[in-house]
Every structure is written in structure tokens, then in C-alpha cells.
Amino acid sequence: MEQYAFASITELARSLAMNSVTAESLTNYFLHRIERLNPVLHAFARVFPEQALEQARQSDERRQQGRALGMLDGIPLGIKDLCDIEGTITACGSRQWETRTSARTADAVHRLRAHGAVIIGKTHTVEFAFGGWGTNALLGTPRNPWDRNHHRVPGGSSSGSGVAVAAGLVPGALGTDTGGSVRIPAALNGITGLKTTVGAINADGVYPLSRTLDSVGPMTRTADDAALLLQALTYAPGQTVQSMTYLANDNAQELAGVRVCVLPEQDYGMQVQRAVRLGLRDMLRMVEMAGATIVREAPPFNFQEAMSDCGKLIAAEGWRVHKDYIQDPSQHFGPFVRDRLMAGKGISDMQYQDLLGAHRKMQAVWAHWMADKDALLLPTTPFGPIPLAQVDESGTPLGYFTRFVNWVNGCALALPAGFDQTNLPVSVQLAGKAGDELMLLRIGSTIQSLTAWHSYTPTVD
């Protein structure tokens, strides 16, 4: 069964369809892998072995009767611990909420189940999803699997989902992204992460941080796998999800007619690790090889200002979500998350409305600038995973290149782009117009057909 640990969803679906493996044995394998590795990696907050095995057995019965629900039928997945599942604990990464039981099930979970996915457990998150490092002071920080000797940051806030996929505990997981929370852990863990346009995936039943900016997105090994999950999360039950290869032309000019803009390095506005810059150049060569037209131009806004304004809006809305209890010193909330939420208290209603107005304006600016472009290629994070001991919780450098996408209400795809001199992963992202996820996935799938970075795996056994 070891060949399945780091297999893609597409590969596992093929094995299930050919009866090379059953959903029950596959689920059992991942459950045993979680049992063995999770005490060190701390990726899963809670696991549902009995429910998962029952879902897997039902999948096998459907397949035996010729009623398989599609490519996700029988595939084990992890769900970020913000997503309600009726009758289970959804703590949202908070020690104070460790007994909070959900009375409903999130729409995203309903949809995955409708396509036959096996929900194996809930993954750890930064408390209330407010933090880019991936740290959790009270419940523990998941361990980045690429360094066996030092505890390095996993990226946040979807920290557990990033670690779980990278370490082969599940082939895919759900995350959420308000300022980079899918893309940052995808980048630091060497996997693929899709930040969807707000509203593209129904967030009902997903505990909010910023209702204006929150989005739900898949975290997987490949762009093809991300496309499978996106389809399942957006299609009506009964519609069949299929592999992204249906978009491929199977020729050297796969991206002919596609215009990819590249941010000139002199316009980064901050120091970017050399390995990240080299990774981006390598990915750019692949895009050129596939026939895309390259444009070199900086967007008409400042990354630092966009990051700051986005952070203010997150704090303002986060405060309004959590204000009834976050100030109470008797409740056990992490000090750094509490401080971030408390910062929103100082944003008046008038200032909040101004932020919403600025957000709407930036959406128009982005749409106008991107009108003749299909994607913007730039770093996902300026550097790779640092040791946990070096984290400065007062800074947000990992969000420098990610928050602007939320601020302009775009979509983005983080892709593995190589490794630094210490064999830690680096990443690039493709940012696109609102609703243009399939274009980004097409470009990402093409890049990954020409490179092998997404197939590299950490040594965790």
C-alpha cells in the first residue's frame, strides 16, 4: 500500500476504478498512517475512523453495483477545522472552543460527500484562522514535514491541511483563504493550493473571519487534483467531475494565445529569497515553452499598502465576529490572535465603510488592469519555512504577495517551484481575474506537465 501515500487524487481514482484497491483498504491505510505520524506532525485535530470506514464501505458497494459517483468516490480527504460537520467538534483552532459541537454541516462538506469523498478528519488551523505563520500557541503548531530535525513553520492559517497533504496523510484537503491562508501553507509545504474567488465555493457552515474576504479552496498535490475538488465544490450533486486533462491540447503550444504577466524583480518592493527568484524564472521558462505570450509589467498599486489595507479589513470584520468574548481575560484565547482581533476594535464604523469602499475600488482597478492578461506570475511567499523559534508574531511578511489577491477579489494558484539550498520548498503563484480559476488551473496543469517539483515528497517515515 505504500505506493498510495503520495499518490495524487487522479492516480488514486484510477486505481479505484480499476479495482486495484478498495475504498475501505485505502481509507484504512491513511487512517493507520495518521495514527502513526500525526503525534509528531500534529496535522489533524481530530479523526473520524468509524465514520470514514463506513463511508468507504458505502463507496465500495456503489462501485460494485456500477453506481460510482465519479472520480472522488472513495477518496479520503481532510477538512479544515473551521468547517461544521453535524455532531462533531469544530473548535476553529481555539482551546476555548474545544467542546463546540456543530449543529449543521457545511455546504462544502455536503458537496464532497455527494461526490462520494470520504471525510477522514479535521485538520488544525491557526486560532480563528487569523495568522500566516501557522502557529497555535495553545493547541500546538503543526510541524512542517520537510525538516525532521527542526520544527519549522507550516504556514497558516490552513496549517494542518498543508502538512497533511505534504506528508501523505491524505491526498487532498480543504482550506480557507482570507489573506493567503491556502497559498501560504501550500507554498511552505511544497504542494498546490487554490485560492478561489469569494463566493465561488459556498462558505455556508464555515466559521467566518472576514465575510467580505473569506474564501474556501482545495489543497492538493497537483493543479489537476485542485480542479477535481473545485468541480465537486461548485457543481450540483449528480454532475460528474472529471480530470483537468480534458482542457489539454496535447501539443507543444498548449498555452498559445494565453497572456501571462510577470512582475519585474525590481518591482517586488521587498527582499525575495534567491531560491524563490530562481524558481520563478524556471516556471516562466515552462510557460514560454508552452507557447504563452509573456508581458512584463507591475500592477498599478503598492503591495505593502494592499497588504496593510487588507489586514485592516480582516481585523475590522474579525472584531465584529468575535467582539462578544475576545476581550474576556478569563477565556483561553491565544495572545497574538487576541491582539490581532482587538486591533479591529479601533476601526470605527466610518473607517470600516471607507475600507469597504476602497476594497470595491481596488476590484475595479484589478479588473481593468487584467483585462488583457490571463494571469500574473509572482512569488507566493518571499522566503521558505523558517524555524518556529525565529517567528516574529508582530510581522506578516508571508502575506506580502498574497493579501493583495484578496484585496482585489481575484483568484490565485500556488505551485511548487523547487527547493532552496537546504532542500526546503519554494513556491510561485498565478493570480487571476475574479472567476478565472479554470484559466489558472489550465496554466498550472501545463507547467506541472513540464516539471517535476510537485512530485517530490518529504521523508516522514
Match 484504512 to its residue by C-alpha cell: 28
Question: Which of 181, 215, 243, 445 is an active site residue?
Answer: 181
At 210, which helix (H) or strand (E)? none
Question: Which of 94, 157, 215, 427 is an active site residue?
Answer: 157
Identify whether 195 is a catalytic site residue.
Answer: no
Is the CB of residue 198 less than 8 Å from the CB of residue 214?
yes
The three-point CA angle 139-141-143 to 5° equals: 140
Residue 445 burial (C-beta neighbours within 10 Å; 0-12, 13-18, 19+): buried
Closest CA to 181 of 151, 150, 203, 148: 203
CA distance linking residue 167 with residue 429, whole number of Å: 21
At 76, which helix (H) or strand (E)? strand 76-80
Closest CA to 413 of 129, 197, 251, 201: 197
CA distance linking residue 117 with residue 174, whole number of Å: 12
Closest CA to 448 of 296, 282, 219: 282
Identify whether 80 is a catalytic site residue.
Answer: yes
Question: Which of 80, 195, 312, 373 is an active site residue?
Answer: 80
Helix-, strand-, coil-residue percentages of the chain, each rounded to 5: 40, 15, 45
Closest CA to 139 of 206, 208, 209, 44: 44
Identify whether 345 is a catalytic site residue.
Answer: no
CA distance linking residue 105 with residue 85, whole number of Å: 4
Catalytic residues: 80, 157, 181
